[in-house]
Structure formats: C-alpha cells, structure tokens
C-alpha cells in the first residue's frame, strides 16, 4: 500500500477528497490497462498493490499522450513561422496578424490546451473547479474549432484552392501533404483522441452556444480589423463574395461550428455510454 500512497500523493488534493481515488477511464485507457487490472485482482500481495496503482497510472497515460501532442503542435507552429516572408503577412511586417487565419488560431489553441491537459492530468482532482473548466474547454470549444477548421479547409480546397488563398499569394500556398495535414487534419485527430482518453462531462448546450458565439464574434472582428488595416481579405472567398453573400458565408460557418459541437457531444456519449443519462454539469 505504501507504493500506492506515494503515487496518489502526486495527485491533487482538494477540500473534499474521495474515499478511493478512481478516475473515470476513457475507452483507450480501459483497453490498455484492463488486462493489467484483471491480472492484479486475481492474486494477493504485490500484484494487488499494482491494481490500486492502476488508477494513478491512468493519469500518467493521459499526461504522456498530451505531452506528445504538445511537442508535435509546438513543432507545427514553429515550422509555420518562416512559411511566409514578413512583407506578405496579412498585415505586412506584423507577425501576430497571422492570427487572422483560423488555422493558426487553432494551432496555438492546441499548444495551450495540451500543455493545460498535462498539468490537469498530474495535479488536479476530479472534483475540482479547474477540472470542470477543462472538460468544458475540451467539449465546447476545442473539438468544435478543430473539426470546423478541417471541414472548411478540405471542403473549400476540393472546390477550388483559390477560395482559401489570399490574392497574390498563390505561388506560396502550393499543396504540401505534411503541412496541410499537420495544420488541418491533426488537430481534429488530436481532439478525437482526447475524447477517447477522457470521460469529459457533457456541457450545458446554452453555455456552449454562448462560448462559441463569443469565439466566432471575436474571430470575425479579427479578420475585419486586418482588412481595415491592410485592405486585403485573409481568404480568397471573402474577396470574391458580395457584401450580402459574404455575411451569409460567415453565418453558415458559425452555424457549422455549433453543429460540430452537437456531433462532438454525441460522439462523447458514443465513446462513453455512461454519460447518456447524465445531466450537463455546467
């Protein structure tokens, strides 16, 4: 039991502690640790202690996966830094203007989220307020944004790549398998993995809608601010559409963002059927 106590001491403490620290297991962690648990329960002595340590191991499996994803996304962000000359950025010479591209916003969100997830895995109790915020961020914001980026990019790319490319930058945005998939496919895959690893509590749909509405509003302000300063739209399709159809396109993208959230919520229940009859926590 001493080994278990030492392991559990690394996990967070709150004012109210559970009798037995048993975090809910995701599908992947159950598959990985299930045989080990059965083996440990079948015998007494050191193996039984191993069974108790299995609950703590779940946290470390999650932390390891998120750490790998954090490193990968840091590499993706770093590799993108020198992709365009400074004078060809949305606002020439201003590196932060790249955040007018939703893809880049999503990549920075991925870096921050997976760093946060590593911290949560190792330090936060399952009944803490911070843990609940973590669930909300994952289900209500991270997954919808990641999948929306992938859906919009690949849909418009299949129709006409010029719909995505700012005018005059066609020679820079040539198809590149590694860059395209690391920026537009990997985030969705990462959040799918996240939803398998974690049993994320289901968020209140109205609160999720409000969070996505705020996100969409801030992003719309972002791209229009860049246009007001530079005189150029960051996406080719924005310049090709009339005022009315441009706003209809923006509205359609916002609706897609919320629909993806609903699909993600359904996937969460599919991965973890125990959530089906549970009320939203937030």
Higher pLDDT, 92 or 37: 92
Is the pLDDT confidence value at 92 over 70? yes
On whether the CB atoms of residues 130 and 160 are closer than 8 A, the answer is no
Is the pLDDT assigned to residue 13 strictly greater than 60? no
Average pLDDT over residues 109-118: 98
How does 39-71 read in b/e, with b if 16+ C-beta sit within 10 Å?
ebeeeeeeeebbbbbbbbbbbebbbebbbebbe
pTM comes to 0.80
pLDDT of residue 146: 98
Confidence bin at 85 (pLDDT 50/70/90): confident
Give me the residue spans of the domains in the chain.
Answer: 64-275
């Amino acid at each position: 039991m001493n080994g278990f106590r030492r392991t559990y001491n690394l996990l967070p403490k709150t004012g109210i502690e559970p009798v037995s620290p048993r975090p809910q297991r995701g599908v992947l962690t159950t598959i990985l640790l299930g045989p080990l648990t059965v083996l440990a329960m079948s015998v007494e002595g050191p193996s039984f202690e191993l069974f108790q340590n299995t609950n703590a191991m779940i946290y470390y499996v999650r932390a390891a996966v998120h750490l790998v994803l954090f490193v990968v996304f840091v590499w993706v962000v770093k590799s993108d830094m020198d992709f365009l000359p400074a004078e060809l950025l949305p606002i020439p010479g201003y590196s932060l203007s790249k955040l007018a591209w939703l893809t880049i916003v999503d990549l920075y969100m991925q870096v921050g989220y997976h760093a946060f997830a590593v911290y949560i895995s190792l330090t936060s109790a399952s009944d803490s307020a911070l843990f609940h915020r973590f669930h909300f961020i994952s289900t209500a914001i991270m997954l919808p944004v990641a999948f929306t980026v992938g859906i919009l990019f690949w849909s418009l790319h299949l129709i006409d790549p010029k719909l995505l490319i700012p005018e005059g930058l066609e020679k820079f945005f040539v198809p590149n398998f590694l860059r395209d998939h690391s920026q537009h496919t990997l985030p969705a895959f990462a959040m799918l993995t996240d939803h398998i690893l974690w049993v994320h509590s289901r968020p209140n749909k109205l609160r999720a809608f409000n969070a996505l509405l705020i996100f969409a509003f801030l992003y719309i302000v972002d791209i229009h601010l860049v246009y007001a300063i530079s005189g150029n739209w960051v996406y080719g399709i924005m310049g090709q559409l009339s005022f009315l159809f441009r706003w209809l396109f923006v509205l359609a993208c916002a609706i897609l963002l919320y629909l993806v959230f609903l699909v993600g919520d359904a996937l969460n229940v599919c991965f973890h059927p125990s959530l089906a009859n549970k009320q939203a926590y937030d």
